[in-house]
Structure 1
Amino acid sequence: MVLGVRDRGVTHLGPAEVRELAARLGLRPTKQRGQNFVIDANTVRRIVRESGVTAGEVVVEVGPGLGSLTLALLETGAEVTAIEVDPLLAGELPATIEAFAPAQAGRLRVVLADAMSVTELPGPPPQALVANLPYNVSVPVLLHLMALLPSLEHGLVMVQAEVADRLAAPPGSKTYGVPSAKAAWFADVRRAGAIGRNVFWPAPNVDSGLVAWTRREPPTDRIAREEVFAVIDAAFAQRRKALRGALRTLAGGAEQAEAALRAVGIDPLTRGETLGIDDFVAIAIALHEMTPESA
């Protein structure tokens, strides 16, 4: 337990509490795991406010670290399922919550796991995902959990500013790409603000951004998501290449790619960066229907 927490009346982690916890644990944040801990209580309150989490909801948090955001989430009256890959941090989190917010400790579940490989979570199905995602795996983790947990209705994640721009980018913009198109399968995504570097310890060398999203129904049930995502990957593998060439390998030839594109009313010389998720769905369906196995 952090010494004197209850006596000091502290209910959130500030710079002193974060450093005190880290020193007691012998913790040195590592770039490999993207460990940059939030030390500003106003920032975590802002994240929770922007997320729209309410009492009674079940929230998934990825990489809770020392517990800054966890405490703010529990403060809303929500239940929190925290996924932490670091055994030291996962083992300490319940004690930290007990020290800072003992009345809320019963609403925390800690899962020691890599969020990229988790296949199920304990407890009731979650409605929200709120997390300070490690920069190096933020997009794969977000897409994995969106696919794994169809009960998720909304969420907000803090990621590198550049990644936030990509996730929320509309078709035709300079930052639109694979993350934007794939996220659009699951949700309506928007930029929800910027976060400065000085709210972290250690301070990262990049700015951060907030991305909010609301679940939408899948754009089709006629074809598997994986087939649509294969089209997206191919379309952006060589970003400046026209779709006729970009989809050549996937379609089994440039002529087949052109035929599929013309069948859905898309100019074969169009580039993938101009297409929305519904366009990629249409192309995937056309390619699927052209294969001998689907005949």
Structure 2
Amino acid sequence: MRLTPVLLSLLMLASVPAHAEGPLRERLKARYMERLQDGESAEEGARVYKAVLPGTQKQTVSYGADPLQAMDVYSPVNARNAPMIVMVHGGGWRTGDKANSGVVENKVKHWLPQGYIVVSVNYRLLPQADAYAQAEDVAAALAYVQKNAATWGGDASRLILMGHSAGAQLVALTSADPSVVTSRGGRLWAGTVVLDSATLDLRATMTQKRVLPLYTNAFGSDPKRWAQASPLERLTPQAVPLMMVCSTQRKDRPCDQADTFGRALRKLGKPAPVQKEDKSHGEINKMVGVPGPYTDAIDAFIAARLGQALGAHK
């Protein structure tokens, strides 16, 4: 039997005496909790999606100088004025990749036959870049996609941003205050789909009784900085409409923060549906594009947003 990192951590934890108070047990517990939070083991993350649908064109382009500042562009042959999905992977701000199977496979299979272009984005990771720098990368990547959409046959005015887990926090932040994109020469986009972020109110996350190292590693311990990375505190009247999907299976109750953020968006007159799903954190991502009511709900939000004129966010 092949041991995954999560199973290995559990076995190691079980081998430590229950009375032990040392740092090893606490590190193992923290690592296990972080794995549960991220919802994807390193083994799963290593399965890079390589199969491209017949007739699909794939190209990898850079939007910055760092090797991780790159994106994969999947497009139908002879795409012209195509709507676009821009996907930002998760991984606890430390791991993950734009080509992971759970990130792109079902999305490419679902949206490319409908004439969409799917773009999957990488960004710098911990420890090289904290979450603040990662948000800057996502904003730069989105502005780059908008500027170059036409060269791939895409329509920048019909663009949906999407992200999962840590990527969901990054796209929610970008959508709450789109000036980080417009200041780079980009413009408002049609809407954003946030796939199971538990950190839409970062101050609430960072002031819990027990804060996972997952968060302190990404956001630091200085309360003065937390507002910079909190979608709720960065919310502006220019915010892009959001659909928030949250798992009802998680012990940390991400739907509570989704409800709070949704109410704040709706007070600004922005569409902000909250889709509560009886799925795991990983399934929330991997099952996007699988035929059924879940994908139908996301499709309905996207169709409604793409039906709106650019800039007419209600």
TM norm structure 1: 0.32
Higher relative contact order (CA 8 A, sep 6+): 2
TM norm structure 2: 0.31
